[in-house]
Amino acid sequence: MKTLYELLNVNTNADNKDIKRAFHQLAKQYHPDLSSENSMFLKILDAYKTLIDDKKRKLYNTAQLCEQAKRSPALPNNRVSFAVSLQDLIDLRCFYRKTNGRKSGHFRPKGYDVCVHLTRSELENGSYVKIDIPAHVICPSCGGDRVHCSLCSHRGHILKAVTVPVPIPRNLEDGDMFYLPVRKLRQKEYAYFMIENLYIKIKILQEHIHGF
């Protein structure tokens, strides 16, 4: 199956002008008034609407990276170090910074949430890591009904760590950071993550270092 970029015959780094130009050329070729391939025109239109919108394009790119990364072996768990412990993330007193008694958002003491350690070849060949992120999920005991449930204390949900595959962009350098909008990711089970974005820092290892 072709990607949206391939449908429009543009590179993944194409700007909005390139995308508009490519769409207009293809629209003339596959417009329903001039061609019988109506389904192709709809695919091109959908690709254009997604890639011309910055937010939709970022989400699409993230989804593409996740799918590409899953075809590569995941990095070992010991390649991931957390800025704070998972327990600290679950503890709301540490998880949110309070200003005048009010929660003001996710507090990142080091400026990032996790640091991923990998070699240059692992980065260039495409890699991903599995990261556990605290989230509220539907209670498996009562199914969210909240009735007489001792597991969730009648709340309908429980707090647990949900494993998220995080693809590593190939164009990064040592010390670079990127973020993943975890709340917008599609999960097999309902999950409301306690953070909106996961900030990841990259640490490139020397090729001769083993058993990090």
Domains plus CATH for the chain?
Answer: 4-52 (1.10.287.110), 77-205 (2.60.260.20)
One DSSP character per residue, 59-89 reads HHHHHHHHHHHHTSPBPPGGGEEESS-HHHH
Cα gap 113→196, rounded to integer Å = 12
Which tens digits make up the pLDDT trace of 62-97? 778 767 666 777 889 899 988 876 556 555 444 444
Which tens digits make up the pLDDT trace of 123-152? 888 888 988 888 889 998 888 888 888 899
Which tens digits make up the pLDDT trace of 8-66? 999 988 999 999 999 999 988 888 777 676 788 899 999 999 999 998 998 888 778 76
Q: Would you say residue 102 has pLDDT above 70?
A: no
Which residue matches tokens 């760590």? 161
* CB contact at 8 A, 191 and 168: no
Cα gap 88→189, rounded to integer Å = 24
Which residue matches tokens 């996961």? 198
Percent of the chain scoring above 70 in pLDDT = 80
